[in-house]
A and B are shown apart, each in its own frame.
Chain A
Amino acid sequence: MKQLHVIGVSKRYSSKRGSVKALASVSCSVQQGEFVALLGPSGCGKSTLLRLVAGLSQPDDGQIEFREWVQMPKARLVFQDSALFPWMSVWENVAFGLEMEAMPVAERRERAVALLATMGMADFHQHYPHELSGGMRQRVAIARAFATEPDILLMDEPLRALDAQMRLVVQEELLALWNRQKPMVLYVTHDIEEALLLADRVLVMSGKPGKIREEVISGFHRPRDLTGRDHKNLEELKWHIWKLLESDVRGQLQSGTANTV
């Protein structure tokens, strides 16, 4: 079984105002095909952990290991603010990863448009990102990641800017895509319900310095009902996680630091 292991990882950020310990000896592991949520208040280092796995920065201490993989797994990020290239049309954005893998233009265009079609966005493939709504942009960003058929999908609060209804629709779409390809997913969010409804496992983090407090297994059947009505113990789990996070969040309010690492 292919696995990702994060072993005793620490990360410190330095700036002119001093240094902040973003992660303190964090360990966790994820199996192939698993959907894991990293949940915590802002500043708990969950995005930092994601970027370390993506290889965008290096840990100060500890290791990130990819076990049982023949080659380096393909880990693709979906960013908070979509990070679609404004100078590329929608289909070029979706096909960007394939272009970097040197796929011929006709083939990658066909693939991108086909993927967009499954998401009901075929008509928009020649638009530019600035012509789309925030929800559409985020869906295109998700399509860009899935187009490359990644081994590991790293999502950094991808639905944060969407309104509640749009979020529900995109969550469903995301799970449908995931179900088809079954990449390993690390999904960063600060929304307790979202974490429980999407993921198999929720790693609850707390901040200053960031560490993993507890692992919560939702155990809901798939396919999921994302409205949560089907899941009997959802409220109970939400309450449990809230109790874990409450002191952290209140502490943040008191010390007045709204630091987002």
Chain B
Amino acid sequence: MTGTKRNAFFHPERWVTVVFFGFCLLVWEVAAQSTWISTLFFPAPSTIVKTLTAMTGTGLFWLTLGTTLYRLLLGVVAGAGAGLVVGWGMGASRKARAVLDPVVAALHPMPKLAIFPIFLVILGIGEASKIALIALAAFFPMLLNTLAGVQHIEQCYWEAASNYGARGMTLLRRVIMPGSLPMAMTGLRLAFNNALVVTIAIEMLSAQDGLGAQIWMSWQTLRTEELYATLIVIGVVGMLSNAVLGRLVVWLLPWHTKA
């Protein structure tokens, strides 16, 4: 492949994408302007952009965004961090696996939102219950991918490590942890996306602030253009964080090449 950044930018396929979506937006704009479609449900793209610009000019918007990001990041750090540690622990120790496997198998498929009332009872209606649920949403994908990462470390690496005298903590630090990191990073992406879903859902369900709450408020007051504008913001949050996590992989795993 001789593709450079420059070439990628001018790649014809890219223009196909741009032209296609540009055309779709144009059709939407024209349809809305001429009221072929109801602007109540489908406000014109130009209106949405105007609303978005106005919205991002207010301090309240940044506060709302900040609130959501705070919950999301705190939940991801706590949940994915715990998932990583437990995943390594389960990967390294057969006993840990024997004890925790059934627990994970039982709790993992449970829709996390269904557990929310229990969290409310235990942790109250404040931030703690929300962040705990977001953390739980991040926990399982991270745990399962980290564990799978340990289990996918090739046999020859275990044998080489054992033959050269690696045991216990050294084995964990030099073989298990780095060897499972590529899959753990995939787990982190999944954890993040899962956590984002739960963050928005939980804000719609029970918060007074945050992007999820704002979407719900826009719906209840039928300010659809604001609803769309908030959706765009959430989309951008998701895309940006995936890009950041992608960079993180390159930075953390310089030795890792996609096979």
Binding site for B on A (CB under 8 A): 54-56, 75-77, 79, 81, 83, 85-89, 96-97, 99-101, 128-130, 144, 148
Contacts and interface: CB of A to CB of B under 8 A. Distances in A.
A102 B102 CA distance: 38
Contacts of A75: 163
B165 A97 contact: yes
Contact of B256 (A86, A96, A101, A144): A86
Dominant SS at the A interface?
Answer: loop
A83 B156 contact: yes
B254 interface: yes
B54 to A, nearest CB: 49
Given A100-B170, A130-B255, A87 B164 contact: no
B120 to A, nearest CB: 43
Given A83-B159, A85-B157, A100 B255 contact: no
A135 to B, nearest CB: 18
A128 B255 contact: yes
Contact of A77 (B163, B174, B179, B181): B163
B206 interface: no
Find the residue from B154, B156, B159, B163 having the highest chain A CB count within 10 A: B163
A85 B154 CA distance: 10
Given A99-B174, A128-B255, A130-B257, A83 B160 contact: yes
Interface residues of B, number: 22
Interface in B204-247: none
Contacts of A77: 159-160, 163
A96 B164 CA distance: 7
Contacts of B157: 83, 85
B81 interface: no
A138 B158 CA distance: 18
Most interface-central of A75, A87, A130, A144 (chain B CB within 10 A): A87
B171 to A, nearest CB: 9
B162 interface: yes
Contacts of A86: 255-256
Interface string B135-160: 00000000000000000001011011
B181 A56 contact: no
B163 A85 contact: no
B176 to A, nearest CB: 11
Nearest to B177: A87
A148 B164 contact: yes
B160 A128 contact: no
Contact of A79 (B156, B254, B256): B156
Contact of A81 (B156, B162, B165): B156
**Which of the listed residues A79, A85, A89, A99 has the most CB atoms from chain B within 10 Å of its own CB?**
A85
Nearest to A74: B165
A115 B17 CA distance: 54
B73 interface: no
A87 B178 contact: yes
26 contacts: A56-B159, A77-B159, A77-B163, A79-B159, A79-B160, A83-B156, A85-B157, A85-B160, A85-B161, A85-B174, A85-B178, A85-B179, A86-B255, A87-B178, A87-B256, A88-B178, A96-B174, A97-B165, A99-B174, A100-B164, A100-B165, A101-B165, A129-B255, A130-B255, A130-B257, A148-B164
Nearest to B171: A100
Interface in B24-54: none
B257 A97 contact: no
B165 A56 contact: no
B55 interface: no
B181 A87 contact: yes
Contacts of A129: 255
Contacts of B159: 56, 77, 79, 83
A100 to B, nearest CB: 4
Contacts of A100: 164-166, 170
Contacts of B255: 86-89, 128-130
Nearest to A92: B174
B179 A87 contact: yes
B175 interface: yes
